[in-house]
Amino acid sequence: MKYNQLNAIHPNQYSHKVELYKPDLQDSKILIDLRQQIFNDSYKDDETMVTKNFESQFRHQYLLIYDKEFVGIGGVSSEQDVAYIFGFGIMPKYQGKGFRKVMLELMLKDLIEQDIKKIMIDVNSENAKAFNLYKKYGFEVQTEFEYFRKKV
């Protein structure tokens, strides 16, 4: 999905209590722990992902902090004026409370301030909550793929 920057980003109920933080290498353990709780991947896979993100000059990560607690995680891969959002998620105990929207708004604002012209995000269309949120915030479907799983 591609972001249509004509949509305005609106302040939200948590604006005064949240912070978008760009972690560095010393925050690796925090990132791995969050990824494990959000995405349920293996420790090794999460460790590899976090390490590769820090090794790449084209990737950076975000953490959402609310009331001194880590709430969400998101990554961006960018080159020149194009950015791809990936690994975007909210801690289970904060899901359904508007933090996904807050984090998306803050990430979009930061990318726009960096003069990013094209912002993309991949989403499984079966994930209705995420798909509808991205559509609400101005993302438009660019390409669709149908996936078929082989029964084992």
All structural domains of the chain: 2-140 (3.40.630.30)
Give the pLDDT confidence of 4-13 residue by residue, as tens digits.
765 555 555 5
Which of 23-37, 38-52, 111-125, 126-140 is least confident?
A: 126-140
C-alpha span between 88 and 150 (Å, rounded): 27
Give the pLDDT confidence of 12-31 residue by residue, as tens digits.
556 668 899 999 999 999 99
Give the pLDDT confidence of 118-136 residue by residue, as tens digits.
999 888 777 788 888 888 8
* CB-neighbour burial class of residue 146 (10 A; exposed 0-12, middle 13-18, buried 19+): exposed
Distances (CA, A) of 1 to 99, 108, 122, 142, 147: 20, 14, 6, 5, 17
Average pLDDT rounded to a whole number, residues 32-51: 93
Instruction: Give 145's DSSP letter.
Output: -
C-alpha span between 44 and 22 (Å, rounded): 22
